[in-house]
Amino acid sequence: MDIKRITSGLLGFPLVLIILLIGNKYVVDILLTIVALLAMDEYLNAISKVCKPIRWVAYLSCISIAIVHLVPKESISTITTLAIPTILLVLFAHIIATNMKITFKDVAYTFLGIFYVVFFMMFVALIDGMENGKILIWYAIFAAWGTDIFAYFIGKKFGKHKFSKVSPKKSIEGCIAGTIGAILIILIYTYFINTYFNLNYSYIYIGIMAIILSLIGQIGDFVASSIKRYVDIKDYSNLIPGHGGMLDRIDSLIFLAPFAYVFFTLL
């Protein structure tokens, strides 16, 4: 049993719980910005093994999460639409400004990190700002971390069949158990909020959502692992004992967040 992993999880969860339950959307946005900056730094350090990332653009882009709820709702889609080509414009301008010392590969890897960390993380902030966002955001968290917890413990105990060379420690048994565990947690959570918060969420809809989000989250985990494999590192950092870096901890959550947001708009 990994004592460091369990201890850091038990210490970290109450802090996340307090901020998400008590903090308003602006406080949560600031928290997510800090998380994004930590994750971005880890990503840039990782890819610096194979390219020269344009750090200042990547770091600056993280600040957009802190101001997402300062922008009028009707303008968010327009600003987001403009932000993506603007970021690309600024990144490609470096190729000209540095006389090709910055290359297309540097631009591509940097842009991928901005889209992967910042754009995906922004959906976590958007979920928190929705009607009943304080309730809905836990569906995303349970889908990600519930899957991770069940996959880790069941896979460690009963895992016999390896899932992929991308992440050799993961087993088919663990992946299946992770999804089943996430479904159970989410359905129990739905019963609780339907009963005590006078809501009427469909168990069938929530169950289907739980399956899809759990599977997407696991793909997100493999995405993070594939990047680590490519640059030949074990963890993004040692920030969280037993878990690795911030990006190791949130890889599933940020990947499923955009899909969770769409599910919640249809709920």
Q: Which tokens hold the place of 160?
A: 């016999």
* pLDDT, tens only, 193-220: 999 999 999 999 999 999 999 999 999 9
pLDDT at 76 (0 to 100): 82
Distance CA 93, CA 107 (A): 10
List pLDDT tens digits, range 59-103: 999 999 999 999 888 888 888 889 989 999 999 999 999 998 999
Q: What is the pLDDT of residue 15?
A: 66
Tell me what pLDDT residue 159 has: 67
Task: Report d(CA 242, CA 9) in Å as an integer.
Answer: 9
Residue 169 has a pLDDT of: 74
Q: 26: closest CA among 170, 133, 118?
A: 133
Which residues neighbour 230 within 8 Å (Cβ) at sequence distance 6 or greater? 50
| 235: its two tokens | 């963890």
CB contact burial 76-94 (16+ within 10 A = b; e otherwise): eeeeeeeeeeebeebbeeb
Beta strands in 33-119 (DSSP E): none
State residue 181's pLDDT score: 96
Phi, psi of 240 (to 5 degrees): -115, 110
**What is d(CA 215, CA 147) in angstroms, rounded to the nearest whole number?**
9
Return the DSSP state at 197.
S
Prediction pTM value: 0.90
Ordered per-residue pLDDT tens for the chain, 267 residues = 455 545 545 445 566 667 777 778 899 999 999 999 999 999 999 999 999 999 999 999 999 999 999 988 888 888 888 998 999 999 999 999 999 899 999 999 999 999 999 999 999 999 999 999 999 999 999 999 999 989 888 888 776 778 777 776 788 898 999 999 999 999 999 999 999 999 999 999 999 999 999 999 999 999 999 999 999 998 898 887 766 789 988 999 999 999 999 999 998
Q: Residue 260 corresponds to which tokens in the numbers above?
A: 């969770």
- Which tokens is 147 given? 């899957």
